[in-house]
A and B are shown apart, each in its own frame.
Chain A
Amino acid sequence: MNLAAPAAGVLATRGTVRELGAHVTGICFDRAGTQAAFALGDGTVHLAEVTGPGDWPRIEAHDGAVLALSPDARDHGFVSAGDDGVLQRISAGCALSEIFSTGGKWIEQLASYAEPRAGLLACAVGKQVHLFDSQGIRLKVLAHPSTVTGLAFDAKGKRLAASHYNGASLWFTASKSDNPRLLEWKGSHIGVAIHPASDSVVTAMQENALHGWRLADGQHLRMTGYPAKTESLGFTRNGKWLASSGADAIVLWPFFGGGPLNKPPVELAPIEGVLCTRVACHPKDELVAAGYVDGTVVVAQIGAQRVVVIAEPGPAPISALAWSFDGARLAFGSEQGQAALVDLSAR
């Protein structure tokens, strides 16, 4: 992707901005690339057509806050969950259909994997992970030693990683035996990512650090030095870099040339004294978008270390950030409900 967009005024010339009125808890695009969904702390989900400014229909999706949002395992539509304990599908036409209800226990984590024949949905309810097929039929319930704090499918939908106290569990989604590979490291792990080539699994930890396991030999990978907790992390598409929040810059760990063992991270788009709260790696190129606690949003080109400011400081911390699957659009939202959808495609 070419970062040819002008450094100033991207939002004004190529963006659609809305005040949604509540904490933006999650953003994602559908797989077909036609819609973006914004989930809020007031229980609503707003759907934006990517092609035009238009209205963003407001859907009363949950009683309480929407705690998790994911693209559906199909081309169109979304899946959301909330503190009402309901997991439901939101169609492109704004129709709701319940997949599952816990009877009130919060659903805080969601992940989906799409493939024509075998899409998968996973949600965490306390210590259990419920795995569904793309039709919403429950395939199995996976038990963990403590509450699951993060979920991630690998790039092929073969494995599912779940973070929890003292490490992470790595499940084979199609396995009949249902014994996970336990990746152990003492402490509270609060989020998880899988390398796109499934080389390693990385978790964020309560102690302002990341912990990784190289899957081939179980080698521990410690990544430390953050001033704050990492609440957002992800690999670039080619697996060379792991981007993370939790410092006053985007922190990128090299996963090549022997890294991240004994290799320092690269820091991009530093804003002194301003914490990065969200990162999102571009689905194709070596680009990473980042949101900051002061409302700034940037896109940084990793190799060239070029940075384009998408949004100037705003009223509230950036709380959600996502790329469309084709990488042409970026959406973000803040703790006070400012939301934007930006077209970054070459023109």
Chain B
Amino acid sequence: MSDLIPVTVLTGFLGAGKTTLLNRILTEDHGRRYAVVINEFGELGVDNDLVVDADEEVFEMNNGCICCTVRGDLIRILGALMKRAKKFDGIIVETTGLANPAPVAQTFFVDESVRAKTRLDAIVTVVDAKNLPARLADSAEAAAQIAFADVIVLNKLDLVTEEEADAVEARILAINPLARIMRATRADVPVTEILHQNAFDLNRILQFDPDFLDQESHGHTEGVYSISIEAARPIVMQKFQEWMGTLLQEKGQDLLRTKGILNVSGESRRFAFQAVHMMADGDYIGPAPEGDTRASRLVFIGRDLNRPQLRRGFEACQVPA
């Protein structure tokens, strides 16, 4: 798509297998060059000039929104990495086990210098199949890390039965039905299937099995869940922007990720939309594929989602019947 360097964000609780995965990315013979930004508690067994220490310094933007937090250290580090003579095929940013992935993602929405040279490729979360239920029970960050993920590596499958694995997968999907789940033991997933995903590319928004979404998420026990809504008639863009703008402003803190694809009234191309908390990005992409129903779809992943209210709001953006 462009010569922007893809950045993959790697999250996951301590002991889930993040470090194993990182070591594989750095040592495996895949013919690509990756820089890895690790947090101060990381202990990579690799002495490598491509490994950069970061301090995970989050700050609040001065725009009155407390959910608008950004990683200032990352802005600096990515800027300095871009000055190096030997270029990279990609950059991987590891976050600490307890970190909320939102500030890393938001950094790519906020900072122009970062956007000018790099792009957020995907958020990859490594989870431990055995311990995930316990983590979900004792920590809000575990659910957030799953909610934000584009790819989930369901690791340590050797420690659970097939039934347990299926149950864990169902819980993950209840929180985030959009994530691609990859099962693994000792983080043995092909590196190429985690990196270069273009998950934040608007052209890839909602590129998944639409029938899958009909299985409404009911696993509300973690506090984070998803809702998908459809609108059959074309959308009036101005109405949608006003509604979504207000919604993200008021409810952005609870809306972890929002993705949508719209059939806009009077426009042959579809409009793709995504947001991380209150930071949104959207643009027209190619026309709908042949045979598509041309319905507009929105998916919200978050907390305290009022389904009837969201549905009414979205439906009110349609052209009058």
Interface residues of A (CB under 8 A from B): 21-23, 25, 40-43, 63-65, 67, 83-84, 104-106, 108, 126-127, 146-147, 149, 165-166, 186-188, 190, 205-207, 228-229, 335
Interface contact B85-A22, CB-CB below 8 Å: yes
Contacts of A21 in B (CB 8 A): 85
The complex places the Cα of A126 from the Cα of B83 at a distance, in Å, of 19
Contact residue among A25, A63, A228 (Cβ-Cβ distance under 8 Å from B83) = A25
Contact A106 B73 (CB under 8 A): no
Which chain B residues in 54-74 approach chain A with CB under 8 Å?
A: 55, 57, 59-63, 70, 72-73
Task: Say whether B84 contacts A64, CB under 8 Å.
Answer: yes
Q: Does B216 contact A (CB under 8 A)?
A: no
Contacts A188-B72, A229-B113 given; does A65 touch B60 at CB 8 Å: no
Give the size category of B's interface with A: 20 to 34
How many Å from the CB of A84 to the closest CB on chain B? 8
Contacts of A65 in B (CB 8 A): 80, 83-85
Which residues of A lie under 8 Å from residue B57 when comparing CB positions? Answer: 146-147, 165
Give the distance in Å from the alpha carbon of A21 to the alpha carbon of B76 in the complex: 23
Contact A149 B61, beta carbon cutoff 8 Å:
no
Q: What separation, in Å, do the CA atoms of A108 and B113 have in the docked complex?
A: 17
Q: Does B310 touch A at the CB level, under 8 Å?
A: no
User: Which of chain B's residues has its CB closest to A165's CB?
Assistant: B59
Chain A interface, DSSP helix/strand/loop, else mixed: loop
Residue of B nearest to A44 (CB): B85
Cβ–Cβ contact B80 & A40, under 8 A: no
- Which of A65, A127, A228 is the most central at the interface, judged by chain B CB atoms within 10 Å of its CB? A65
For window 22-64 of B, CB contacts with A under 8 Å fall at: 49, 52-53, 55, 57, 59-63
Residues of A within 8 A of B59 (CB): 165-166, 187-188, 206
CA distance A286 to B52 in the complex (A): 42
B189 within 8 Å of A by Cβ? Answer: no
User: Which chain A residue has the least Cβ–Cβ distance from B113?
Assistant: A229
Ranked nearest first, the 6 interchain pairs of A and B with the lowest CB-CB distance are A42-B85, A41-B83, A22-B85, A23-B83, A188-B72, A188-B59
Q: B-side interface residues toward A, CB under 8 Å?
A: 49, 52-53, 55, 57, 59-63, 70, 72-73, 75-76, 80, 82-86, 111-113
A25, A146, A206: the one contacting B75 at CB < 8 Å is A206
A104 to B63, CA, bound (A): 36
- Give Cα A285–Cα B85 distance, bound, in whole angstroms: 36
- Provide the bound-state CA to CA distance between A43 and B84, in Å: 8
* The residue from B70, B75, B112 contacting A228, defined by CB atoms under 8 A apart: B112
Q: Which of B60, B80, B82 has the most CB of A within 10 A?
A: B80
Number of A-B residue pairs having CB atoms within 8 Å of each other in the complex: 77
Interchain Cβ contacts under 8 Å between A and B, 23 examples: A23-B83, A42-B85, A43-B85, A63-B49, A64-B84, A65-B84, A67-B83, A83-B52, A84-B49, A105-B53, A108-B76, A127-B55, A146-B55, A147-B76, A165-B72, A186-B60, A187-B60, A187-B62, A188-B70, A205-B62, A206-B61, A228-B112, A229-B111
Give, as a whole number of angstroms, the nearest-CB distance from B235 to chain A. 31
Q: How far is the CA of A335 from the CA of B52 in the complex (A)?
A: 22
CB–CB A40/B53 < 8 A: no
Q: How far is the CA of A76 from the CA of B85 in the complex (A)?
A: 28
Contacts of A105 in B (CB 8 A): 53
Complex Cα distance A43/B63, Å?
38
- Could you tell me the distance in whole angstroms from the C-beta of A19 to the nearest C-beta in chain B? 13
Kindly list chain A residues whose C-beta atoms are within 8 Å of the C-beta of B73: 147
Q: Are A206 and B111 in contact (CB under 8 A)?
A: yes
Which of B57, B75, B83, B84 is packed against the most chain A CB atoms within 10 Å? B83
**Bound Cα distance from A83 to B82, whole angstroms:** 12
List of B residues within 8 angstroms of A108 by Cβ: 76, 80
- Asked if residues B62 and A186 are in contact (CB atoms below 8 Å), the reply is yes
- Bound together, the chains give a CA A64 to CA B72 distance in angstroms of 22
Cα(A127)–Cα(B73), bound, Å = 11
Which B residues are CB-close (under 8 A) to A104? 53
Contacts A40-B85, A187-B61, A206-B75 known; list 12 others, CB within 8 Å: A63-B49, A64-B84, A83-B84, A104-B53, A108-B80, A126-B55, A146-B57, A165-B72, A186-B60, A187-B62, A206-B111, A228-B112
